[in-house]
Amino acid sequence: MRLGQLGRALVGVAGLVVLAGGAGAQWIAPTPEELKMTSIAEAPDAKAVVLYRDELTEDDNHMWSTYKRIKILTEAGKDLGDVRVVFNKRNDGRGYTVDQIAGRTIEPDGSIVPFTGKPYEKVVDQGDGYKVAYKVFSMPQVQVGSILEYRYKLRWEDNVYAPPEWEIQTDLYLRKGHFLWKPTDRELVHTSRGGREAGTSTLVWNAVLPKGVEMGKTRLPNGRLLLEVKVQDVAPFGREEYMPPFQTAAYHVFFYYSPYHTPQEYWKTEGGYWSSDTNKFVGSSAYVREAAAAATAGATGDEGKAKKLYALARTIENTDYSRKRERAEEKGEGLKETKSAEDVLRRKRGSGDEIAMTFVALARAAGLNASVMAVSDRSFQTMNASWLDFGRQLNDDIAVIAYDGKDHFFDPGSPYTSFGHLSWKHSMSGGVRQQGKETTMVPTPGESYKDSKTARLANLVLLDEGRVSGTVTFRFSGSPAVEWRQAALRNDEAELREMLTKYAQSMLPGGTEVKLTQLEGVSDEDNPLKAVFAVSGNLGSAAGSRVVLPSDVFVEHQQPTFPHAEREQPVYFHYAEMVQDAVRIAYPEGFAVESAPADETVKLKQNAVYTQRSKQTGNSITVWRDLMVGEVYYPLDEYADLRKFYSDFERKDHASIVLKRTSAVPTAKASSGGGE
Q: How far apart are CA 313 and CA 367, in angstroms?
A: 16
E strands, 131-277, where? 131-138, 147-156, 160-161, 165-167, 173-182, 189-191, 197-199, 202-208, 216-219, 225-234, 252-258
Burial (CB count <10 Å: 0-12, 13-18, 19+), residue 210: middle
Radius of gyration over alpha carbons of the chain, in Å? 30
DSSP letters along 250-270, please? S-EEEEEEES-SSHHHHHHHH
> pLDDT confidence of 239, banded at 50, 70, 90?
confident
CATH of domain 450-661: 2.60.120.1130
pLDDT of residue 326: 53
What is the separation of C-alpha 349 from the centre of its chain, rounded to a whole number of angstroms? 26
Q: Is 449 helix (H, G, I), strand (E, B) or coil?
A: helix
Q: How far apart are CA 29 and CA 34, in angstroms?
A: 10
Q: How far apart are CA 613 and CA 600, in angstroms?
A: 7
- Could you tell me where in the chain the CATH 3.10.620.30 domains are found? 266-446
Q: Is the pLDDT higher at 260 or at 80?
A: 80
Q: What are phi and psi of 16, to 5 degrees?
A: -125, 130
Helices (H) and strands (E) in the chain, counts: 12, 40
What is residue 560's DSSP assignment? P
Instruction: Let me know: does 102 contact 113? Beta carbons within 8 Å.
Output: no
Model confidence at 408: pLDDT above 50: yes
Model confidence at 438: pLDDT above 70: yes
Q: Is 222 helix (H, G, I), strand (E, B) or coil?
A: coil
Q: Is the pLDDT higher at 178 or at 378?
A: 178
pLDDT in tens, 560-613: 999 999 988 899 999 999 999 999 999 988 899 999 999 999 999 989 999 999
What is the separation of C-alpha 234 from the centre of its chain, rounded to a whole number of angstroms? 25
- Could you tell me where in the chain the CATH 2.60.120.1130 domains are found? 450-661
Around 306, how many Cα atoms within 13 Å sit in the side-chain half-sphere? 25
* Level-2 CATH architecture, domain 266-446: Roll (3.10)
pLDDT of residue 94: 63
pLDDT in tens, 307-325: 999 999 999 999 998 865 5
pLDDT of residue 202: 81
Q: Is it true that domain 2-261 has CATH number 2.60.40.3140?
A: yes
Q: How far apart are CA 280 and CA 291, in angstroms?
A: 18
Q: 329-336 — which CB contacts under 8 Å span 24+ positions?
A: none
Determine the residue type at 507.
Answer: M
The residues with which 459 forms a beta bridge, in sequence order, are 471, 584
DSSP H or E stretch at residue 286: helix 286-295
Strands 13-18 and 591-595: unpaired
> pLDDT confidence of 388, banded at 50, 70, 90?
confident
Q: What is the mean pLDDT of the chain?
A: 88
Q: What is the mean pLDDT of residues 182-197?
A: 82
Within 8 A by CB and 6+ apart from 367, the residues are 305
> pLDDT confidence of 148, banded at 50, 70, 90?
very high
pLDDT of residue 24: 45
Q: What is the mean pLDDT of residues 480-502?
A: 93
pLDDT of residue 380: 80
pLDDT of residue 497: 95
> What string of H, E and C letters represents the secondary structure of 499-521?
HHHHHHHHHCCCCCEEEEEEEEC
> pLDDT confidence of 1, banded at 50, 70, 90?
very low
pLDDT of residue 544: 82
pLDDT in tens, 265-320: 989 999 999 999 999 999 999 999 999 999 999 999 999 999 999 999 999 999 99
> pLDDT confidence of 212, banded at 50, 70, 90?
very high
Q: What is the mean pLDDT of residues 402-406?
A: 95
Determine the residue type at 673.
Answer: G
- Could you tell me where in the chain the CATH 2.60.40.3140 domains are found? 2-261
